Structure 1
């Protein structure tokens, strides 16, 4: 307990006037004066004289408790406060006793004391705040939050209750409510740096990046030499797509505290957004020189290397993901050894299990027949939407749908599907062909052909957004409204977009030029059957792009300026997918020019289309 906390807790129980004998009362008042002046020994002597005259003088007993608390004699403080309460159960005495017990770690006893105090005075916001503090110390966060919120219902401007509520709401990811709580603090104390920074964090989580920047700028005026404040300001600019401006703030932070790893990470990321790959790689190597076991830096370096075509280094460094505690929590940590291509697997059963996204699984399933060709019996585990599609891949003996309680058959070794390129030593020159998926069932293709009707115009599949929880989704996805200029092309447009966002759902319902059949796309196998009936798929970087390109359909992929590593650098084609064309953003980082280029190409393709009977 800090001295300020100790003083605060003690003085919250400052005894008031009593009906004690005049001598005890005057000696008690003298003790108060001495205590206020910092003359602790004189205060104690005055109290002892008062209690000699009247052993039951409650205020003097409580003042002795305060003196004991301020001198760190907690057991004595408990005894003095308890004696005072027996004479007169005042709220202030109970508060100081509860505070002392909390500092001693006697949390159950402290809770009982504050509960008694609240029964005596239920409309006291300070008591509810104290109750919240004890509950929080007991790791009873939900109950603590209720206690703090009750304090605020009594006193809506109680700063401490608001701040603690904000922290707990932030921890529960209830960011909007947390913002309101921190705003209560800032309304009273506009220069409260801690509340300002916490409100900024909440704004970032809610992707309210303008608010995030505004709070970071205000924080920087309050603490101009704090490197973490400069770092946050740079991060806010990156979130707003202003990475070039952000670099100056990261450099300022590093000038204030050289070698600060969190700042270096953010600087490396900003450089990647600007496609300054060599400089970004140098930053990640600098981090690894400071912290050789920094898995995040190694992981990011891997992606730079892969994007630049250095597959040998990139695949190896990418294994650092397994040292990241929050990576792929569903992938079991098996007792069996991991296979990375070095051991012979002939006659062995090898479990191949997904460890990242749907698109990753589709892209790297091309290695499964190669595992089987080495003599391994392949058991594949993927999420249910992929099971039917992948069960028919050549060499897969058994394909299971992942569930948290899945009982896997016996196996000898395992390999995450994203580690297969490393296991086979893949280089740009040895990428396996994209012809590994079995053709969709003819009967399902026939059903979709019949449903789509006469093939008298170009059929175009559309996908404009991916999983909103993916880290780069804000850059790789677009709203449907951005794609609408395509609709004046003479073509039939079919939506392949699953998981519509609210604004897109409303807009799609108004579009007669787009057929939405996604309710019947039960899994990837069904989507593959539909895609087989289309002439071109126009999509952002998501699983639909991988599926369409793997099926050999003409696939036009619209990419952000800082595209994913798998699409390499400065290319409009892909060695992974011969049927793919890449339409990249320019440095303006807007999809509107990309859509305009796609529209021009689509119009030409539609004009050259020959109807099919």
Structure 2
């Protein structure tokens, strides 16, 4: 038997799994021909399979010393180094291999895998896609690319690759799960639910799948079904913190406050530092008017994993003597939060400090009208000198706010009279008509925040009221349904002339009444001291509390609440009757 025949026999044994026989043949070949590159290479592969990586490297290196342009040996050297975690060295050998064999999809796939591990997602995707162009049947690449696109936030692309992966792996529950989550994030709720149910059908013992399905069902307002999913997750894992938290949120949305607190306490019994449970306790305490306990828990907001933690170089201010110092107050969360809590700035200046406000660009011009601020800057601008900093969200707790001592003197926000006059001319104001500004959408599509939005159909009930003119205060939403709604309601739309909240404030000052769902416009109207009616879901955001028609935060505000989840029609009917009474009183 000549050398080539011996190599062929050894390879046959190797491929059939008879590694001992194959190794014996290779060693006999090397006794006769010590520089046989194939025997050295394939013997190295046997060591690789047996996880003796150092010996694998030794023999493959010997083959490459003899034949440096051996693409298969370069590829396998790269794979061995990958297995050892030596990724930079592995990349070197894989790229060398590809130079000599540019049609090898397997090499590109492994280059992509290393780049993915190293966090170089863009380059990883490029290499994966090139590999698929050469060999579209490299099925595991579809999974890898899907996860990369998901991690980059490119959900539509991720969905395409997840669905392609399912053509090859229909029985992998994790692909169904992640596809469902991606679909939910782009608003394809019903399709998402289908894939999560598939994941559970394939693997009914995974509590994560029940939890994920429950979150999606809750976002659709199916609270009982969601609670059932979270309950099942807890039956599978009675220490599943997120499931305790999620069942509590669902119970809160149903108005079952004490039960919600029970599940949050259960989570904290398991992990006293579970920030999400503390945060949701804060929201419940504040919702029910227990401000003293609420502010204690509120501090956990800054420990939530999705919270932006600003790392300023100066010390954090938490209420100590600040006389003669300069404090940087920075805004976070939404515009409404900033508008609501800007009322606390005078308390800081009364304590002897100067205040620099760091806020959203859209609020800068409006807040520049406030005399208690030394300077207003926006995110991205260079920071001036300051001594201490704090979040604007900390101020109610720092000043020990209770229901009884909320600083509610309005207006506490102002806009220039010249701008108000400019908007009066734009509106061509007719003082004989009653002018109402409308906001019907919170702008949120997913999560429970979407329940703040009313349907246009419900708002259309107001079209029968005589002697009023409606003005849109709704920014950023325009489609055929909205256009038809504007025509039916004969709504005046000047929102293209609104460039920031200062413009919105000037427009509001020219109106008689603002009717809004829970949005920043409602806060702005209240801060300006204008009559504002806020339409609320059955269980609202904490600041509107429960079972009251007024707001201790805004004296000019009236609250209209759902009596059952999703029933906006009854709310709008009550608003319509109240408008008629309001007009009669005004006239």
Moved more, 345-354 or 286-295: 345-354
CA drift at 1:367 = 2.1
Q: Residue 384 of structure 2 aligns with which residue? A: 408
Match among 425, 441, 464 for residue 400 of structure 2: 425
Task: Give the Cα–Cα distance (whole angstroms) in 1 for the partners of residues 485 and 313 of structure 2.
Answer: 45
8 Å CA contact 1:23, 1:53 repeated in 2: no
Task: Give the Cα–Cα distance (whole angstroms) in 1 for the partners of residues 455 and 103 of structure 2.
Answer: 50
CA drift at 1:210 = 1.1
CA drift at 1:525 = 2.8
8 Å CA contact 2:460, 2:485 repeated in 1: no
8 Å CA contact 1:481, 1:507 repeated in 2: no
8 Å CA contact 1:482, 1:592 repeated in 2: yes
Matched, 1:385 2:365: no
Q: Residue 248 of structure 1 aligns with which residue? A: 228
3-state SS of the aligned residue for 2:401? coil
Task: Give the Cα–Cα distance (whole angstroms) in 1 for the partners of residues 528 and 276 of structure 2.
Answer: 34
3-state SS of the aligned residue for 1:429? coil
State the TM-score, normalized to the length of structure 2: 0.91
Q: Residue 527 of structure 1 aligns with which residue? A: 504
Task: Give the Cα–Cα distance (whole angstroms) in 2 for the partners of residues 67 and 39 of structure 1.
Answer: 10
Change (3 A) 1:127 1:505: farther
Change (3 A) 1:135 1:432: closer
Q: Residue 361 of structure 1 aligns with which residue? A: 338
CA drift at 1:582 = 1.6
Match among 309, 312, 316 for residue 333 of structure 1: 312
3-state SS of the aligned residue for 2:366? helix
Task: Give the Cα–Cα distance (whole angstroms) in 2 for the partners of residues 185 and 415 of structure 1.
Answer: 48
Change (3 A) 1:332 1:130: closer
Matched, 1:552 2:529: yes
Change (3 A) 1:237 1:173: same
Task: Give the Cα–Cα distance (whole angstroms) in 1 for the partners of residues 101 and 457 of structure 2.
Answer: 58
Matched, 1:580 2:557: yes
Task: Give the Cα–Cα distance (whole angstroms) in 2 for the partners of residues 229 and 428 of structure 1.
Answer: 41
CA drift at 1:607 = 5.9
3-state SS of the aligned residue for 2:278? helix
Q: Residue 498 of structure 1 aligns with which residue? A: 475
Matched, 1:460 2:436: yes
3-state SS of the aligned residue for 1:185? helix
Task: Give the Cα–Cα distance (whole angstroms) in 1 for the partners of residues 160 and 379 of structure 2.
Answer: 39
Paired residues in the alignment total 584
Q: 1:405-439 CA deviation, whole Å, 9 max, x = no partner?
A: 4323333x444222222122211112122314255
Task: Give the Cα–Cα distance (whole angstroms) in 2 for the partners of residues 361 and 494 of structure 1.
Answer: 24
Matched, 1:61 2:75: no
8 Å CA contact 1:391, 1:398 repeated in 2: no
8 Å CA contact 1:56, 1:87 repeated in 2: no
CA drift at 1:61 = 2.9
Match among 497, 515, 520 for residue 538 of structure 1: 515
CA drift at 1:535 = 1.2
Task: Give the Cα–Cα distance (whole angstroms) in 1 for the partners of residues 391 and 37 of structure 2.
Answer: 71
Q: Residue 446 of structure 1 aligns with which residue? A: 421
CA drift at 1:38 = 4.8
CA drift at 1:240 = 1.8
Task: Give the Cα–Cα distance (whole angstroms) in 1 for the partners of residues 418 and 252 of structure 2.
Answer: 46
Q: Residue 485 of structure 1 aligns with which residue? A: 461
Change (3 A) 1:142 1:579: same
Q: Residue 23 of structure 2 aligns with which residue? A: 44
Change (3 A) 1:295 1:106: closer
Change (3 A) 1:177 1:590: farther
CA drift at 1:334 = 4.6
State the TM-score, normalized to the length of structure 1: 0.87
Change (3 A) 1:313 1:516: same
CA drift at 1:382 = 2.9
Q: 1:464-483 CA deviation, whole Å, 9 max, x = no partner?
A: 22354896442223465553
Task: Give the Cα–Cα distance (whole angstroms) in 1 for the partners of residues 415 and 76 of structure 2.
Answer: 75
Q: Residue 239 of structure 1 aligns with which residue? A: 219
Match among 552, 557, 578 for residue 601 of structure 1: 578
Task: Give the Cα–Cα distance (whole angstroms) in 1 for the partners of residues 504 and 339 of structure 2.
Answer: 13
Change (3 A) 1:307 1:389: same
- The unaligned stretches of length 5 or more in structure 1 are 1-21
Task: Give the Cα–Cα distance (whole angstroms) in 2 for the partners of residues 303 and 334 of structure 1.
Answer: 30
Matched, 1:73 2:49: no
Matched, 1:474 2:461: no
Q: Residue 9 of structure 1 aligns with which residue? A: none
Q: 1:70-103 CA deviation, whole Å, 9 max, x = no partner?
A: 2333243234335556569665444323212322
Task: Give the Cα–Cα distance (whole angstroms) in 1 for the partners of residues 399 and 96 of structure 2.
Answer: 70
Task: Give the Cα–Cα distance (whole angstroms) in 2 for the partners of residues 57 and 445 of structure 1.
Answer: 90
Q: How does 1:152-171 map to 2 (within 5 A)?
A: 152-171=132-151
- The unaligned stretches of length 5 or more in structure 2 are none
Change (3 A) 1:271 1:75: same
Q: 1:245-285 CA deviation, whole Å, 9 max, x = no partner?
A: 11122112111111211211211221122121111122222
Change (3 A) 1:432 1:51: same
3-state SS of the aligned residue for 2:555? coil
CA drift at 1:167 = 0.9
CA drift at 1:566 = 0.3
8 Å CA contact 1:489, 1:606 repeated in 2: no
